[in-house]
């Protein structure tokens, strides 16, 4: 069974968080249209818009430096992941940070070279990999994520799959409304190191590499080969210049690539 948490609330949230932040490339041609760059609105520590409208996160800083390296003006659009994927499908975005390449996604967008690696893990209370309430385990995963697809295929008969933004899933886990969250290990470990995460842990080993793509890419508007090549050059540039490593150290105690 499966339910999507608060769809009307997410739609209202999307309207509020589809805000734009302008970052001006140092050498962008005056006639060049800004690139519309999608970022998750509630996916700490990768990207987050707080209640005051302040945006922060690893992916935001990476995106800013990529825009600088390309010499392009960029407009950052914050939405839940499923809204970002839909916007990319409809041609509303030029780039989308932090997505893995899958057969389904290749139908409506192209992909950059990977810019970091990640695994998927279950997060819950120690020893709590049991059957859950009424014999059904309540498992949360980001709406639109590869983790949702895994749960549908592997645990559909034994789990209630709850889709929501990552930050909301953590709230539900802490409140006892979920038994487990299946998430990117980097986001999961960041939560476990926080004050709220001290009562939780990674349960079991990371899921096998053949279960999920481990490489994380940037989605590119379909058919824009020139933009994809420009972006790949920018990824190489910020990696070899040490800029990516500096951002990496601000958020994670180990190298992501």
Tens digits of residue pLDDT in 48-98: 999 999 999 999 999 999 999 999 999 999 999 999 999 999 999 999 999
Tens of pLDDT, residues 222-256: 999 999 999 999 999 999 999 999 999 999 988 88
**Structure confidence at residue 100 (pLDDT):** 94
Does position 219 have pLDDT exceeding 50, yes or no?
yes
**Structure confidence at residue 131 (pLDDT):** 59
- Token pair for 172: 């539900």
Could you please state the CATH topology (level 3) that the domain comprising 35-118+214-250 is classified under: D-Maltodextrin-Binding Protein; domain 2 (3.40.190)
**Structure confidence at residue 129 (pLDDT):** 65
State the pLDDT confidence band at 183, using cuts at 50, 70 and 90. Answer: very high
Does position 170 have pLDDT exceeding 60, yes or no?
yes
**Structure confidence at residue 241 (pLDDT):** 97
Could you please state the CATH topology (level 3) that the domain comprising 120-207 is classified under: D-Maltodextrin-Binding Protein; domain 2 (3.40.190)
Does position 6 have pLDDT exceeding 70, yes or no?
no
Closest CA to 184 of 77, 40, 23, 4: 40
**Structure confidence at residue 156 (pLDDT):** 59
Strand partners, 2: 161
pLDDT above 90 covers a percentage of the chain that reads 72
Domain ranges of the chain: 35-118+214-250, 120-207
**Structure confidence at residue 233 (pLDDT):** 98
Tens of pLDDT, residues 143-161: 999 999 888 887 656 789 9
How far from 224 is each of 71, 97, 109, 231, 256, CA to CA, in Å?
17, 16, 9, 11, 27
Tens of pLDDT, residues 97-140: 999 999 999 999 999 999 999 999 999 999 876 556 677 899 99
**Structure confidence at residue 21 (pLDDT):** 45
Rounded mean pLDDT, 32-50: 95
Summary mean pLDDT of the chain: 87
Tell me the DSSP string of 165-186.
-HHHHHHHHHTTS-SEEEEEHH
**Structure confidence at residue 3 (pLDDT):** 38
Give the integer Cα–Cα distance in Å for 225 and 173: 41
**Helix, strand, coil in percent for the chain, rounding step 5:** 35, 25, 35
- Token pair for 197: 């995460």
- Locus of tokens 């409208």: 53
Task: Give the burial class of 94: count Cβ atoms within 10 A of its Cβ; 0-12 exposed, 13-18 middle, 19 or more buried.
Answer: buried
Q: Are 38 and 79 in contact (CB under 8 A)?
A: yes
């Amino acid at each position: 069974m499966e339910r999507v948490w608060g769809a009307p609330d997410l739609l209202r949230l999307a309207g509020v968080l589809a805000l734009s932040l302008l970052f001006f490339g140092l050498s962008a041609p005056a006639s060049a249209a800004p690139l519309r760059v999608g970022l998750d609105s509630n996916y700490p520590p990768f990207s987050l818009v707080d209640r005051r409208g302040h945006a922060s996160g690893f992916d935001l800083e990476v995106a800013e430096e990529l825009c600088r390296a390309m010499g392009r003006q960029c407009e950052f659009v914050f939405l839940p992941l499923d809204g970002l994927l839909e916007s990319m499908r409809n041609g509303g975005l030029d780039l989308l940070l932090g997505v893995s390449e899958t057969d389904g996604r290749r139908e409506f967008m192209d992909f950059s070279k990977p810019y970091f690696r990640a695994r998927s893990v279950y997060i819950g209370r120690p020893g709590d990999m049991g059957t859950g309430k009424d014999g059904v385990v309540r498992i949360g995963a980001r709406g639109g994520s590869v983790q949702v697809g895994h749960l549908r295929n592997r645990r559909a008969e034994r789990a209630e799959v709850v889709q929501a933004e990552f930050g909301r899933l953590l709230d539900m886990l802490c409140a006892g409304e979920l038994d487990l969250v299946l998430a990117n290990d980097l986001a999961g470990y960041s939560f476990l190191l926080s004050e709220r995460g001290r009562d939780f842990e990674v349960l079991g080993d990371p899921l096998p590499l053949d279960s999920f793509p481990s490489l994380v890419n940037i989605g590119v508007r379909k058919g824009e080969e020139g933009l994809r090549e420009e972006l790949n050059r920018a990824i190489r540039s910020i990696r070899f210049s040490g800029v990516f490593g500096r951002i990496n150290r601000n958020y994670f105690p180990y190298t992501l690539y």
